[in-house]
Structure 1
Amino acid sequence: MKKTQELLTQITQLTSNIETNYPELYSFLLEEPITIPSTQHPEINSTVLQDYLQTLKEELHHHIKTHKAK
């Protein structure tokens, strides 16, 4: 259970960072297909949370990389 709580904390912190420092990216996070469940009652577990956290990190990294060059 602690693993799940740690992941949720990391996701919350990263999302808050994106909202504060990269508002142009934050507006797109709500539109991500990964946040829209494809089943009525999706199972949320450590694997799903880890995947989502990794996706957030990759999106932020890509955003920073592509917008620094401009």
Structure 2
Amino acid sequence: MMNKPTDHALPDDPVMFAAYVASISGELARISRENGLSTLAYILEMARLEARNITLTEQDASAEQQTAQTN
């Protein structure tokens, strides 16, 4: 079993963490696909899309809130 990496801290902010998950799951999906693990690649790609959707949704909500405050 592999040890948890300790050389870097994970983001505390949920939106930043979702962006991190999107990035790493995309890379893992690519590696899985290259090694013939198509089902695993598909699942990881779905995780990437969900994490990206969370990131974009939260960014949009934040932008709308800032616009409303300035008006």
TM-score past 0.5 threshold:
no
TM-score of the two chains, using structure 2 as the length reference:
0.39
TM-score of the two chains, using structure 1 as the length reference:
0.40
Max radius of gyration: which structure?
2
